[in-house]
Amino acid sequence: MTTSDRIADIWGTRTPYERGGAWPARVDTHLEEGLAPGDVDRWVQTASILHSNGDALDIAVKDGRMVGVRGRATDRVNHGRLGPKDLFGWQANASPDRLTRPLVRRGGDLVEASWDEAMTLVVERTHKFLDEQGASAVGFYTTGQLFLEEYYTLGLVAHGGIGTNHVDGNTRLCTATAAEALKESFASDGQPGSYSDIDHADVIALYGHNMAETQVVLWSRVLDRLAGPNPPAIVCVDPRPTPVAKTATVHLAPRPGTNVALMNGLLHEIVTNDWVDHDYVAAHAVGLDELVAGIREYPPERVARICDVPEADLREAARLVGTADRLLSTVLQGFYQSHQATAASVQVNNIHILRGMLGRPGCGLLQMNGQPTAENTREAGADGDLPGFRNWSNDTQVEDLARVWNVEPMAIPHYSPPTHVMQMIRYAEEGSIRMLWVQATNPAVSLPELDRVRSILSQDRLFLVVQDIFLSETAQLADVVLPAATWGEKTGTFTNADRTVHLSEKAVDPPGEARPDLEIFIDFAHRLGLEDKDGAPLVKWSTPEEAFEAWKECSRGRPCDYTGITYEKLRGGTGIQWPCTEDAPDGTERLYADGKFFADPEYCESYGRDLVTGAPVEEEQYKAMNPEGRAVLKFAEYLPPHELPSEDYPFQLITGRTVYHFHTRTKTGRAPQLQAAAPEVWVEVSAPDAELLGLAEGDLAEITTPRGSVRARARISAIREGVVFLPFHYGYWDRGGHGPDAAASDGGGRAANELTITDWDPASKQPIFKTAAARVTRLADGGGAASAAPTTTASAPLTGWVPPTRGGPGSGVEEDLAATGGAR
């Protein structure tokens, strides 16, 4: 039983509402074939684990098995709605190929072992490396898909116990830029806005964010506003014809990698037309003069040339965001994974500061998250930052953390910024990191330049531990594989992109001997003999709820204060937004309502960085610039992308997602409805480019960069000319291997990251997955059959929709790029 065909009808039926009104509830359900709600034994409360939206749902359990899901009407996030991945993705839990026993490598092969054997081996090796080389021999690479309690425990073990600075999450690939942009402008991580801002906004601007496919339920809320009285205007900045672009009042399809120029152009218009809230800026911000001086060089004529967008559209977009009464902005991977990521994202913050659009209903700023629990990775310190958004370069804050953990301050590494994952990979390449423990992420598919990554991870001298639920491409390279229990099989909390904390309860038992990640970390800490400064066990909890209570103390008084939340309070009703304290027992809808920021020099998480070089700003410099802790307006100059199109590689390659799959498909590839909706990789090419290449819909193409090549069937779409797009979901596990040599691969690459470059944003250290130069060649005729790309999404075939015009002949693009070495 399903509410409707939610593969074809992605967003479901409209429930229109008006500006300032309440978003109606609509409960979406999917139950196994032949079952009705009355057949279900019990419903178990949780939220979606397949994106950052935080859709609250109940798992249907019958005879000890998961048999379906139903949205929670009482929840503030989704009011009962679910997206396609929410409705169908849970089926992967019961896949017959789940990992059920630990594996260790013997004589070259992974063979089954007991937990005791596997953990003994991990602990022996850890001791050996610590003895021989110290804490810097050991690295942890975690995820945005575990639970808060697990990250907090991992952060304690790694930072407070082992004392390594080599801890990062795949959040580095995901929302490191969201965190960094918030730190630059407000000196602390913490999402200012709220999803309910959609109810009040008159203009919604989406920057490099295909919300329609990646936060389906949030987009349903926008669609319902659009279907009601007083709909908002939509501004979309994306080189692809996403469903967002097709709905937009103004769609700017810039040349990839030119976001900073575009943002400076918008700011130029806002300042020139004096759409600035001078009282707000005078009272709450610093840096106005530098910003105004900087953006002078970005008049619309010049920006239109750099970005190759029509000048009139740019002006119109500026007018919309500049004159909005209530402006909501969202930012995601089209900015975070593109060139000059932090610099571009900070300019969105600047618009909100200049216009005084913070902390009021409808005036939302959402530097989005992507993964379901990425917020917790960041706040609990499992991405290398210190827990509770504590500042590693402020000794008082480090001492405070040491007090909470009952360890010596010097035991917590804080001599330099935490090591980011690309640097950890480099250390493993050089041999200084000798043990890498990877949890709930699949770097052999998701990191850039896979040929290099595979060769580093498969080195004999690197001891690789992989904790996963399937034998992923990465797990296939491991020395020890630890089988984890996952969502629905363990209890914990996680926090979505608008700070809403949800409880996720255990519904069914994990398969075989699989164990919750929390138990694995605690077992490791005890076996390793980690102690606090009084000789008591370092990790003092054994259940998720105890871990949560411990975390609450760590968060006390910090921006992400959880002290007013309990498991009990999270049961039954709605999720709760942090900070939640005695004074704010129902949580806090919007940050910065009073124009006061977490930016006080003694309190803030970060003093910021140079946006061009990434060098940390020193404490004294920050105090001189911002003694009163105001928001910071930071200008950034546009710089051309590092890898520009050339004669050999004339296209710009971008990569990303489709609505039906999650990342490396370990879950959605095992959910029949989702896998059938997008069964195989494709490449999106514009019609004019296809004509030049002699490429027809469905033809087999090879996409090549200096790093490697991928074969994919062509989808002729309304994507920007000169740009090609590959989804990054398709690796090799379902071809029976871990790389292009997999049985069914024909030696041809399939993973988009065969092509991407080892390069990252200087401030956030987020890898650049969305700006590379590529060549496309036609390999074989498709015989008239269409590619397998979805037709309901950004990858829709080119019919009936006219893409926005580009700058047009004489726009000066060639001239502009020639100056920087590019051809196109």
Question: Nearest-CA neighbor of 485 among 144, 116, 140, 100?
Answer: 100
CB of 575 to ligand MGD, least distance (A): 18
Question: What is the C-alpha separation between 405 and 139, in angstroms, rounded?
Answer: 21
Over the window 624 to 663, marking each residue x when it contacts ligand MGD by CB under 6 A and - when it does not, the resulting string is ------------------------------xxxx-x-xxx
Segment lying near ligand MGD (by CB under 6 A), choices 275-283, 443-451, 630-638, 778-786: 443-451
Question: What is the C-alpha separation between 673 and 112, in angstroms, rounded?
Answer: 32
Q: Per residue in 619-639, is it b (16+ CB within 10 Å) or e — as a string?
A: eeebeeebeebbbbbbbbebe
Does 257 help bind ligand MGD (rule: CB under 6 A)? yes
Segment lying near ligand MGD (by CB under 6 A), choices 71-79, 101-109, 277-285, 331-339: 331-339
Among 753, 764, 787, 793, binds ligand MGD (CB under 6 A): 753
CA angle (660, 248, 334) in 5-degree steps: 55
Residue 709 near residue 754 (C-beta atoms within 8 A): yes
Segment lying near ligand MGD (by CB under 6 A), choices 233-241, 453-461, 620-628, 774-782: 233-241
Nearer to ligand MGD, 443 or 587 (CB): 443
CB of 333 to Mo ion, least distance (A): 7
Q: Tell me the residue number closest to ligand MGD, measured at CB.
A: 370
Could you say which residues in the range 559-618 bind ligand MGD, by CB under 6 A? none
Question: What is the C-alpha separation between 670 and 674, in angstroms, rounded?
Answer: 8
Does 208 help bind ligand MGD (rule: CB under 6 A)? yes
Residue 636 touches which member of ligand MGD, Mo ion, none, C-beta under 5-8 Å by kind: none
Does 376 help bind ligand MGD (rule: CB under 6 A)? no
Residue 101 near residue 473 (C-beta atoms within 8 A): no
Question: What is the C-alpha separation between 553 and 587, in angstroms, rounded?
Answer: 17
CB of 564 to ligand MGD, least distance (A): 27
Over the window 383 to 422, marking each residue x when it contacts ligand MGD by CB under 6 A and - when it does not, the resulting string is ----------------------------------------
Q: Which residues pair with 753 in a beta bridge?
A: none
Segment lying near ligand MGD (by CB under 6 A), choices 40-48, 137-145, 424-432, 570-578: 137-145
Among 126, 242, 350, 606, binds ligand MGD (CB under 6 A): 242
CB of 36 to ligand MGD, least distance (A): 29
Does 749 help bind ligand MGD (rule: CB under 6 A)? no
Segment lying near ligand MGD (by CB under 6 A), choices 286-294, 395-403, 467-475, 526-534: 467-475
Over the window 765 to 804, marking each residue x when it contacts ligand MGD by CB under 6 A and - when it does not, the resulting string is ----xxx----------------------x----------
E strand or H helix at 234: strand 233-237
Q: How far is CA 119 from CA 185, 467, 479, 521, in A?
A: 44, 12, 12, 10
Classify strands 631-632 and 285-286 as parallel, antiparallel or unpaired: parallel
Q: Which residues pair with 109 in a beta bridge?
A: 106
Q: How far apart are the first and last CA of the chain?
A: 51
Residue 209 near residue 244 (C-beta atoms within 8 A): yes
Among 213, 308, 375, 699, binds ligand MGD (CB under 6 A): 213
CB of 334 to ligand MGD, least distance (A): 2
In the β-sheet with 500-504, what is the strand arrangement from edge to edge? Answer: 492-495, 500-504, 576-577
CB of 153 to ligand MGD, least distance (A): 13
Question: What is the C-alpha separation between 594 and 358, in angstroms, rounded?
Answer: 9
Among 55, 184, 468, 761, binds ligand MGD (CB under 6 A): 468
Among 15, 153, 164, 439, binds ligand MGD (CB under 6 A): 439
Does 173 help bind ligand MGD (rule: CB under 6 A)? yes
Residue 573 near residue 556 (C-beta atoms within 8 A): no
Among 6, 209, 355, 558, binds ligand MGD (CB under 6 A): 209
Does 196 help bind ligand MGD (rule: CB under 6 A)? no
E strand or H helix at 28: none
Question: What is the C-alpha separation between 50 and 89, in angstroms, rounded?
Answer: 8
Chain positions contacting Mo ion, by CB under 5 A: 174, 370-371
Residue 484 touches which member of Mo ion, ligand MGD, none, C-beta under 5-8 Å by kind: ligand MGD
Phi-psi region of 661 (alpha: psi -120 to 50; beta: other; left: phi over 0): beta
Question: What is the C-alpha separation between 27 and 398, in angstroms, rounded?
Answer: 46
Q: Per residue in 690-717, is it b (16+ CB within 10 Å) or e — as a string?
A: beebebbbbbbbbbbbebbbbbbbbbbb
CB of 754 to ligand MGD, least distance (A): 9
CB of 50 to Mo ion, least distance (A): 11
Question: What is the C-alpha separation between 570 and 9, in angstroms, rounded?
Answer: 31
Nearer to Mo ion, 370 or 669 (CB): 370
Classify strands 700-705 and 708-717 as parallel, antiparallel or unpaired: antiparallel
Among 377, 626, 666, 705, binds ligand MGD (CB under 6 A): 666
Q: Footprint of ligand MGD on this chain (CB under 6 A)?
A: 51-52, 85, 143-145, 170, 173-174, 207-210, 213-214, 237-240, 242, 254, 256-257, 259, 332-334, 337-338, 370-371, 439-443, 445-446, 467-470, 472, 484, 486-487, 517, 654-657, 659, 661-664, 666, 728, 752-753, 756, 769-771, 794
